[in-house]
Amino acid sequence: MADFLSAVDERTQLAGNNRMELLTFNLAGPQKYGINVFKVREVMLCPEMSEVTDVYIKGIVHLRGSTFSVIDLNQIVHQEPLPMENSFLIISEFTQTRQGFVVRSVDRILNLAWDEIHPPPSNINQDSFVTATTYQNNELVQILDVEKVLDRIAPQGSAVDDKLIARGQELTAETIYEIVICDDSSVARRNLIDAIEQVGCHAIVFENGLEAYEYLIARERSHEGLGNLLMLISDIEMPEMDGFTLIARLRQEPEYTKMPMYMHSSLSGDVNEVKAGEMGADGFINKFDANEVAKILNRCMLNRRDTERQRQFTLDKEDAIGTSLPQQG
């Protein structure tokens, strides 16, 4: 099982082609679940672990020089503990932290196009941990919002430093800038919106890359133009269209060649950061770092203000030269 995950970093190239690989597994029942292979580092039979007194944490494992918690996914999703005997451990990595998920069995890896991945039904319970679905081999696969799972165990904060808030509010005193954010995780969207609003900006929110792309193209071609649209912040993994593809396609549009665009992802690592640059992103923000989001917003607002002031200065100078020229005849 470990062999087929030995080159996980190389799988990053799939996202640039709007594809992904999904590791499918079962919990206590017959329902198939999935997690993006990007997030997976290793799969094995459950090893021995130190027990802890926590309803969601099975124990603590020390493995290959790393110590991390083991999470009972069935307890979180179905409120019932999963027996450890003959169960598997999926070791994953998010925002430079490692954790293990106990599952009953591991099924297979599916190589999919992102347009085969769809948002869950609109009437699904908001407490659900399903972030997307796909239908493969005559079976429905529910893709878990792992960030929401982790937030249930240790809620992610979104407080911004007071100095960054003050600076942001100074920069938005005359203009409320709009930030397009795109993420299929409800936790990530909530934290991004909080950080954006704290510095005085307005968030325009989408849950997948295709929705964001269609909105931005329509806005580019409307008579109103981009207006106060400042920048795009996008996740990598999303139904319908991934973040790499979203940015690469937008960069082909005249109005979006210079607009700041940032990847916002829990998939930390040099490979992803390099890929983000290759696809046209201006930078890479690790998820759940509200101060980093605020710093980038403030920097982009300052650059926008300085550019607009320079443009106005140039126009005023041209007007002054024009009125000072001697009249002919």
DSSP 226-277: STTEEEEEE-SS-SSS-HHHHHHHHTTSGGGSSS-EEEEES--SHHHHHHHH
d(CA 199, CA 300): 12
186-217 per-position pLDDT tens digit = 899 999 999 999 999 999 999 999 999 999 99
Pick the CATH number of 162-314 from 1.10.540.10, 3.40.50.300, 3.40.50.2300, 3.40.190.10: 3.40.50.2300
| 319 vs 241, residue with greater confidence | 241
Greatest Cα pair distance in the chain? 99
At residue 230 the predicted structure's pLDDT band, cuts being 50, 70 and 90, is very high
d(CA 255, CA 225): 9
Through-space distance between the first and last CA atoms of the chain, rounded to whole angstroms: 88
> Hey, is 169 helix, strand or coil?
helix
What average pLDDT score do residues 116-145 get? 86
Sign of the C-alpha dihedral computed for residues 52, 54, 55 and 61 taken in this order: negative
d(CA 311, CA 318): 11
- For residue 215, CA distances in Å to 83, 140, 212 come to 46, 29, 5
- Pair 81, 71: CB distance under 8 Å: no
What average pLDDT score do residues 170-184 get? 93
> What is the pairing mode between strands 57-63 and 40-45?
unpaired
CATH architecture of 3-153: Beta Barrel (2.40)
Q: What is the pLDDT of residue 319?
A: 65
> What is the pairing mode between strands 178-182 and 229-234?
parallel
| Torsion angles phi and psi, residue 169, rounded to 5 | -65, -30
Q: What is the pLDDT of residue 39?
A: 80
What percent of the chain is predicted at pLDDT more than 90? Answer: 45
Amino acid at 118: H
d(CA 17, CA 22): 15
Amino acid at 23: L
At residue 325 the predicted structure's pLDDT band, cuts being 50, 70 and 90, is low
d(CA 132, CA 121): 9
- Pair 12, 38: CB distance under 8 Å: yes
Domain chopping of the chain, boundaries: 3-153, 162-314
Radius of gyration for the chain, computed over Cα atoms and rounded to the nearest angstrom: 23
- Pair 120, 133: CB distance under 8 Å: yes
- Pair 255, 26: CB distance under 8 Å: no
Phi-psi region of 109 (alpha: psi -120 to 50; beta: other; left: phi over 0): beta
* DSSP secondary structure code for residue 81 in this structure: P
d(CA 17, CA 200): 36
Structure tokens at 286: 């690790």
Q: What is the pLDDT of residue 122?
A: 77
d(CA 51, CA 77): 21
Q: Which residues of 89-102 are buried (b: 16+ CB within 10 A; e: fewer)?
A: bbbbbbeeebbbbb
* DSSP secondary structure code for residue 50 in this structure: B
Q: What is the pLDDT of residue 66?
A: 87
